[in-house]
Every structure is written in C-alpha cells, then in structure tokens.
Amino acid sequence: RACNKLRPLEGVPVAVKDLLNVAGVPTWAGGPQCANCPVAARDAVAVERLRAAGAVIVGKTHLTQLACVGHGHNPHYETPLSPFGWTVDGEGGRLPGGSSSGSAVAVAGGLVPVAVGTDTGGSIRIPAAWCGVTGFKPTFGRVPTDGCHPLCAESLDSIGPLANSVEDCDLLFRVLAGLPVPGAEPKPKLS
C-alpha cells in the first residue's frame, strides 16, 4: 500500500455467513429455497466494510436453513462438525450450535482467524459457546444489515463477529460497525 499505510484487516482471511451477499456469489441462506436465486450483484454493506479494511473474503459459511435453528443441524446439507460440540448421536457426531455454525467451526478449526455471523436469538452466541470461540451479538442496528437475507425477526437481526479472542472480535466489530480502529489513525509527523 502507498506510504506503507496498512488497513486494519490488511490481508486477513475472513469467512462470511451465507446470509450476506458477496458480489458474484449466490446467497443460499442454508436451504434449497434460494437455489434458483440470482447471484449477488453487489456486496452487503458489512462485506464492503471488510474489503475496505483490507480483509480477504475467502468464502461463505454454512448455516441452518434460513438461520432459524439454534443447534446447527441442517436437514438439506451436511452439518459442520464442532471440535468442541455436544454429542448428538451414537456415532459421535457433534453439533456446532447455530445458526452461524459454519462461521464458528471455521474459526475453531483454524481455517480463518475471524468470521462474520448473524444473530437474532443466539445464532452467534450459541455456536461460539459450543465451538469454544468468542462471539457476540451487537446492538440492533449497529452494523447495517443491507445486503443480508432477512431472518426470522428483522427487527432483532444483527451482524456480528466470531474470533478466537475478545481483541479480535473487537477489531472485527469496529470494522463492521464503521467505528474507528485504535492504532489505525494516521499519526502526525513531527519534524
């Protein structure tokens, strides 16, 4: 970058829940009901902010159908397995919690250092707890939901971070919310 000015997420790989639009990629919302939907023409506002901060969007993550189930199971597609989840069958399968199951599993499994999820009634908090990572639901409206598939209760929907640490969640949240990032402000040159 010019003047050696790095952006807050310069080069950081980020996974995004498949409820948010990523330009040129279909948004499936966890189920076959969106199988024939057109690919997204533009990024969701949250994704635009990630890219502007230097993040590299490496993929979209799995979720429960229409983001409406808290245990993480999806009857239409494979369910991502949590490395720290609860056993759900006699074969040792483990549920990751939901609905941001893929985002939590991607962070817990070391695929990405941070991921984006959505939360209406626990969809970031449950998989974060079941997968042993950090995540939180921001205050409604703090992160714009433009370009995000509407969930079960639009007036409660929030987009938020999942990461391995509180510090990384804070950084990702600040970018998503359009807040200043400490240390990213230009420093005056003293002569």
In the set 17, 60, 101, 137, the catalytic residue is 17
Do 136 and 161 touch, CB atoms closer than 8 A? Answer: yes
103 in catalytic set: no
Active site includes 165? no
The active-site residue, picked from 82, 99, 101, 158, is 99
Q: Considering 82, 100, 101, 123, which one is annotated as catalytic?
A: 123
Sign of the torsion formed by the C-alpha atoms of 121, 127, 129 and 133: negative
Instruction: Establish whether 189 is a catalytic residue.
Output: no
Pick from 84, 116, 85, 76: nearest CA to 100:
116
Distance, in Å, from the CA atom of 77 to the CA atom of 95, rounded to the nearest integer, reads 14
* Positions marked active-site: 17, 99, 123
